[in-house]
Amino acid sequence: MILYLVPILTALTLLIGTAGVYQLQMRNRRVANRLHRIIETDEPTTLPTGLVDAALPIWLRPMTFLAWLLPGHIYSETLLWDLAQAGYRHVDARKVFAGARVLSIVTLGLLAVLTLLAVHAQPQKVFIWTLLAVAVGFYLPTMILRVKQNKRQQEITLTLPDALDLLVICVEAGQGLNAALLKVANESSLHAKVLSEELKTVNNEIRAGVARPQALRNLGLRTGVDDVRALVAVMIQSDRFGTSIAQALRIHANSLRTRRRQRAEERARKAPVKLVFPLVFCIFPELLVVILAPGMLALYRALLTMSKGG
């Protein structure tokens, strides 16, 4: 049995290694392209905004009509902030999400029914599997939304300490908080696109007449990151009591840097546990075959010779 698994596990190991090398090359290429843009131009890069554009793409507009089948989603404030945390702030984002959920339910349900009827399954199995497909279709858009939220929040968490250091420098240099936020947003538009977009949104809200504490609270709600919420609380408290915001931001930057180091140490301690699976299923079988194969072949030849001699 092990001899049959060796080619499969070897191919899997080579595939994982090739994917890792390709990912490393793509990362180096992205870094090189970013440095090239910094050298060639000083203008901020245009950020892809997806559903933030003024008009929806044509292929998304039919979903807004399907959304009326789920009216609770259209007026849900919780869904509004969930979509904002994933980067979707268009006025029709909730309608698109609700339409995508309806389309997912109908598509998976019909696919399950047609597949089961094609294999002549029993009615009870058709009902059970169709119900399961409908449930998967209902939760599939939410799961995709959670994945995008986690990816966006992780990027904000990793880029926030460096942006906060730059914010401290700008404030200590004499700039106001609004000007400092705009400066940090422009300077971090290449290496921290998500955070830059959020800071620009804060500045735009303040220019539009929203009070600065409320604009900062909206920043915490849009990101959903605990570090950003703590930063917002520090800035609102300093603004309310008139304390030195530069000193408060410096202390908070040190705490964020400590948290980032602790998260890195935590991941490093989890690495040996995560390596158990590839070691057991991808490396140990090959080592076992390499070590035992010569002895097993010699034993087989000896037994074959003895059988012929007998």
User: Of 196 and 8, which is predicted with more confidence?
Assistant: 196
pLDDT of 272: 85
Q: What is the mean pLDDT of residues 284-306?
A: 80
- Over residues 35-58, the pLDDT tens digits come to 666 555 444 444 444 444 456 677
pLDDT of 121: 82
pLDDT of 122: 86
User: What distance in Å separates the CA atoms of residue 167 and residue 249, rounded to the nearest whole number?
Assistant: 8
**Helix and strand numbers, DSSP H then E, in the chain:** 13, 0
User: What distance in Å separates the CA atoms of residue 203 and residue 99, rounded to the nearest whole number?
Assistant: 32
309 confidence band (pLDDT: 50, 70, 90): low
- Over residues 148-173, the pLDDT tens digits come to 999 999 888 888 888 888 888 888 88
Lookup: tokens for 44: 């901020």
Nearest to 194 by CA among 43, 49, 96, 63: 49
pLDDT of 52: 45
Q: What is the mean pLDDT of residues 75-100?
A: 87
User: What distance in Å separates the CA atoms of residue 71 and residue 95, rounded to the nearest whole number?
Assistant: 9
**Upper half-sphere CA count for residue 289 (Cβ side, 13 Å):** 14
Residue 108 reports pLDDT greater than 80 = yes
Cβ 63 vs Cβ 99: under 8 Å: yes
Specify the pTM. 0.68
The percentage of the chain sitting over the pLDDT mark of 70, rounded to a whole number, equals 82
Q: What is the mean pLDDT of residues 13-18?
A: 69
Cα distances from 96 to residues 46, 56, 74, 92, 227, in angstroms, run 24, 9, 9, 6, 30
pLDDT of 168: 87
- Over residues 190-210, the pLDDT tens digits come to 888 888 888 898 888 888 888
Mean pLDDT of the chain: 81
**Residue 111: what residue type?**
L
Question: Which helix (H) or strand (E) segment is 122 a member of?
Answer: none
